Amino acid sequence: MSSSTHDVTAPAAPRVEEVAADIYAYVQPDGTWWINNTGFLVGKRGVISVDACATERRTRAYLDAIKAVTPQPVRTLVNTHHHGDHTFGNHLFRGATIVGHEGVRAGIRDWGRPRSAPYWTDVEWGDIQLEPPFLTYTDGVTLWVDDLRCEVRHVGTAAHTTNDSIVWIPERRVLFCGDLLFNGGTPFLVQGSLAGAVSVLEDVIRPLGAQTIVAGHGPVAGPELIDTVLGYLRFVQDTAARGRAAGLTPLETARETDLGPYAELADRERIVGNLHRAYAELEGAAPGAPMDARRALDDMIAYNGGRPLSCYA
């Protein structure tokens, strides 16, 4: 069967939520293609931002939202991974130190400037200038907001991408997890790993004991979101194993699959891309190994009835 992408034509306005004292989530509905969450921490001498937004308009609106909370400047910008919805707006954080994993710097450069065609409906990106991190790390770095410790950690293996990091504030039990978790949307692992994502959620994320989780997309959540996403990832792995054993391609398997409880997730055409990744792993590919992403995206378009994937960024 084919599956249309989400049908929202006018997402609600972004909102600022104070998730702990001086820690804010910036939630952008409806959390679908290229519409991500960010967040910020406010100190006496400056602000730390977790991620930027995809377009110039959305990033400027985010910066205005920060100014509505505090007159302090953004002194540090952390990128949780290289995808453009989290990094294309980097250049608008004038004077901020941009921090990210070494793979984020390489990933931004490899991806290049934003583009919609042929995979997404037209997006007004604005005047985007690529600005990769210029302070990089391999394992992690500790940032401080006054006396509040913020641990920025690479998760150790490919998951959503090969360069995912979390921002963990242990004193407040608040976790900014980038796209390791989606809330209400379909996870996407074409540039990452199914097995790696399962391992990270079980062995890195869950043991933290976070009480508040700011996912990369969708509403702020509690720790129950971990099990929800793990359920989907295992569903994809099981579906891939059955489809491959039956001699079906990832696209054929997707068309034969009843998504069940996951049918209500936004951007459900991502099942096809995720199956491409799962098939690669069943064939022995290492987590995060390069694969034919264009073929996966072409199959997602086919699953979507030949229509470009809807994006309202």
The total number of structural domains in the chain stands at 1
Report the CATH number that the domain containing residue 20 is assigned in CATH: 3.60.15.10
Query: Is residue 2 a part of any domain in this protein?
Result: no
Query: Is residue 8 a part of any domain in this protein?
Result: no
- The mean predicted confidence, pLDDT, of the chain is 96
Bridge partner residues of 221 (DSSP): 213
The percent of residues in the chain predicted with pLDDT above 70, rounded, is 97
What is the pLDDT confidence band of residue 9, given thresholds at 50, 70 and 90? low
Bridge partner residues of 27 (DSSP): 15
Q: For 125-136, write each residue's pLDDT tens digit.
A: 999 999 999 999
Crossing angle, helix 293-303 and helix 270-282, to 10 degrees? 140
Query: Is residue 150 a part of any domain in this protein?
Result: yes
Query: Is residue 97 a part of any domain in this protein?
Result: yes
Query: Using CA atoms, how far apart are residues 270 and 214, in angstroms rounded to an integer?
Result: 21
Q: For 93-135, write each residue's pLDDT tens digit.
A: 999 999 999 999 999 999 999 999 999 999 999 999 999 999 9
Would you state the pLDDT for residue 303? 98
Query: Using CA atoms, how far apart are residues 69 and 156, in angstroms rounded to an integer?
Result: 34
Q: Which of 284, 293, 289, 286 is nearest to 250 (CA)?
A: 293
What is the pLDDT confidence band of residue 10, given thresholds at 50, 70 and 90? confident
Contacts 24+ apart (CB under 8 A), 273-276: 273/188, 273/189, 273/190, 273/297, 273/299, 273/300, 274/186, 274/187, 274/188, 274/189, 274/190, 274/194, 274/236, 275/236, 275/239, 275/240, 275/243, 275/250, 275/251, 276/190, 276/250
Whether the pLDDT of residue 1 is over 90: the answer is no
Would you state the pLDDT for residue 112? 96
Query: Is residue 284 a part of any domain in this protein?
Result: yes
Query: Using CA atoms, how far apart are residues 155 and 121, in angstroms rounded to an integer?
Result: 32
Query: Using CA atoms, how far apart are residues 112 and 88, in angstroms rounded to an integer?
Result: 10
Task: Work out the average pLDDT over 187-196.
Answer: 98
Query: Is residue 5 a part of any domain in this protein?
Result: no
The percent of residues in the chain predicted with pLDDT above 90, rounded, is 97
Query: Is residue 259 a part of any domain in this protein?
Result: yes
Q: Which domain holds residue 244?
A: 15-303
Would you state the pLDDT for residue 4? 44
Query: Is residue 9 a part of any domain in this protein?
Result: no
User: Higher pLDDT residue, 6 or 201?
Assistant: 201
